[in-house]
Amino acid sequence: MLNLRKELALAKRLPFFENMSPVIPFIIALVVALVAIYWIILKSSAEKIGVQYQLLAQRFELELEQPEPKMAGLLRPEPSVYGHYRGREISISVPGKGLQNTRQVESVLKIGLNDKDLKAQFVATGPLAGMRQRDSGKQARWKSGDEPFDSAIDVRTNHGGALKPLLTEERRVWLARTLKKSKATLYIGGGTLAYAKLGLIANEATRQDFESAVEFLCDLAETVESKVSLKNQASVTP
């Protein structure tokens, strides 16, 4: 930013600048000031996000990736964390493109799952529920039979029989409370459990939401895998 100011000062000494209207240097100075303010705000925001990712990395003993700023600090890629926790792969990052090809960004937690058959999506009910349902394959809405849960959460799956025993009362309460409050989305499929929330992890409250989601998804993954293991054992028993 200092180099930019020096170049502007030197440029004002040229004949071209001496003969121009006084309004033009004012406009140039205004643009420079706005860029400087934007740079300061961007830097402050990136530092807040960086701190939250550092805390996530420490909490779960993960690797922290912090890309270097580009374009004199005007472009600051989001950090990410990745590694293993409780014996399974985990990552928290911000996808490169916006939600449904919009400018809305979301932070995504992914947990590895040793089961590629189970597929389901959970979103809070409401007028925007359809927008947050992605790759559901036009599956019909599944209901658990728990009226408070079904009125709060829109579930899409073609594995209702396998899903129902996984959703204990405690898990239904957590899902209803968490997804309704945060407008986050839970996806199960392709060997992954994914928790996606609009926005960036820029404060303590959002970071704590993701910390809670990590433990919830790890517990859920262990239950899914144990039931799959029991099913496989039963299928080979004479």
DSSP string, 37-52: HHHHHHHHHHHHHHHH
On whether residue 48 sits in a domain, the answer given is no
Strands (E), the chain: 63-65, 80-85, 88-93, 106-112, 120-124, 141-142, 153-157, 185-189, 192-198
On whether residue 183 sits in a domain, the answer given is yes
- The better pLDDT of the pair 112, 43 is held by 112
CB of 188 within 8 A of CB of 120? Answer: yes
Q: Which parts of 61-203 fold into alpha helices (H)?
A: 129-132, 147-152, 160-163, 169-182
- The region of weakest confidence among 44-53, 87-96, 121-130, 225-234 is 225-234
On whether residue 139 sits in a domain, the answer given is yes
On whether residue 136 sits in a domain, the answer given is yes
On whether residue 206 sits in a domain, the answer given is yes
Number of domains in the chain: 1
On whether residue 180 sits in a domain, the answer given is yes
Domain that residue 112 falls in: 86-236
On whether residue 41 sits in a domain, the answer given is no
What's the pLDDT tens digit per position in 14-35?
455 455 566 676 677 666 666 6
**Is residue 51's pLDDT more than 80?**
yes
Token reading at 146 = 């728990």
pLDDT-based confidence at residue 218 (cuts at 50, 70, 90) = very high
Percent above pLDDT 90 for the chain: 46
On whether residue 54 sits in a domain, the answer given is no
